[in-house]
Structure 1
């Protein structure tokens, strides 16, 4: 039987590649702000995944962005991307504004306020079943337009509680992500890939992962063509 998500990813990949060339390498989430951050993992649920249950304080890079690049006055699919540099391959998490319940967590929801709820939508395969991640802002309204957002975080740290859920079960806290300050150039060319860079012990899986893999590859090809020019 044909793998429909992968086929859809290939079909979407062609316009994404063209969009990447037109937007200078960023087909989606073209407008954002990048921040120095810290991820404190405080010991999550014991699901047989040591990374989830472990404790650590890691320097991180985070990017908040507007998915379609719509004007700031309009709701957009907002993104929260997190990179944890390691000794080898980094760990990348890509989260999108969504609902929070067992079913709506799988549905992207446009927002204007960046201090909201984000989920991975994409699942990760583990011995304990499918796992998803989320982050919820701990307080205050924050603009999603990159420059006002950067100024806001420069004045006061922005904190998110990081969560994980198994299957459609309840969200459980695993740590805290703190955005401490914007980087000087606002939105440098940092690339995140949640399919190729999952947390240790997890594998990106499910329809969203199979959709993303070929779509990402075409987008990367578009970026390489942009650099070539």
Structure 2
């Protein structure tokens, strides 16, 4: 899909999505979706370099040591915990402002499942992906996280926090061409952050803060930017 052939449909879809998000925001406030969550901290441990490149500097230029991360786990529609919901995981690698923001949502891992949202009751065993590709040096690149433990996690965020205090949440990070096979490049380990279960900060924004070296396509910006602009206006950012 090229920017030229997809820009208009993406703009129309983006405007419609922004209108929906804005309407929900009149009821829910600054965070229309992913309203409540669980703040997490942890480390990103990179696997040794391989000959397979993603074409994204953040993935290919792998540091030797662990990288600190801050993250937020949330349920997309904030439905009651008894119901399935889209699981969201926002990750900011690096200290301070970090190296960009990575936003992942529960999907499948094959084709076409990696392009489809998949509601789940719990993050345990979930696959979460960027859903839309980044522009890499060698073509489109998807990023995903596959939960590897614990095997079981509760549904309510308060109970998830208690469970992760006892055993950290571990995930494999992977990249793939849009229709190609996945390649594991790092391991993410997360525990609950000290203090309140959730907070207004940090605010994650994959449109303005993509991972280092990850470009974006015009159609993906047209699709996502209007909705994120609504969120920024509501928070004054």
Whether TM-score is above 0.5 comes out as yes
* Rounded Cα–Cα distance in structure 1 between residues aligned with 2:206 and 2:117: 17
Structure 1 length as normaliser, TM-score?
0.90
RMSD: 2.0
Choose which of 45, 58, 61 in structure 2 pairs with 1:51. Answer: 58
Contact 1:40 1:55 in 2 (8 A): no
Q: 1:92 maps to which residue?
A: 101
Structure whose residues are more often strand by fraction: 1
Q: CA deviation at 1:89?
A: 6.2
Which residues of structure 1 form unaligned runs of 5+?
Answer: none
Q: 1:123 maps to which residue?
A: 133
Q: 1:142 maps to which residue?
A: 153
- The structure-2 alpha-carbon separation of the partners of 1:135 and 1:124, relative to structure 1 and needing over 3 Å to count, comes to same
Q: 1:29 maps to which residue?
A: 34
- The structure-2 alpha-carbon separation of the partners of 1:200 and 1:77, relative to structure 1 and needing over 3 Å to count, comes to same
Choose which of 183, 186, 209 in structure 2 pairs with 1:175. Answer: 186
Q: 1:164 maps to which residue?
A: 175
Tell whether 2:117 aligns with 1:112: no
* Rounded Cα–Cα distance in structure 2 between residues aligned with 1:101 and 1:209: 24
Task: Tell me whether 63-72 or 190-199 shows the greater mean CA deviation.
Answer: 190-199
Deviation digits for residues 46-87 of structure 1, max 9, x if unmatched?
Answer: 244332123232111111110000010100011111012457
Task: Tell me whether 17-26 or 68-77 shows the greater mean CA deviation.
Answer: 17-26
* Rounded Cα–Cα distance in structure 2 between residues aligned with 1:154 and 1:15: 36
Count of residues paired in the alignment: 225
Q: CA deviation at 1:21?
A: 4.2
Contact 1:19 1:26 in 2 (8 A): no
SS at match of 1:3: helix
SS at match of 1:15: helix
* Rounded Cα–Cα distance in structure 2 between residues aligned with 1:29 and 1:87: 23
- The structure-2 alpha-carbon separation of the partners of 1:144 and 1:94, relative to structure 1 and needing over 3 Å to count, comes to farther
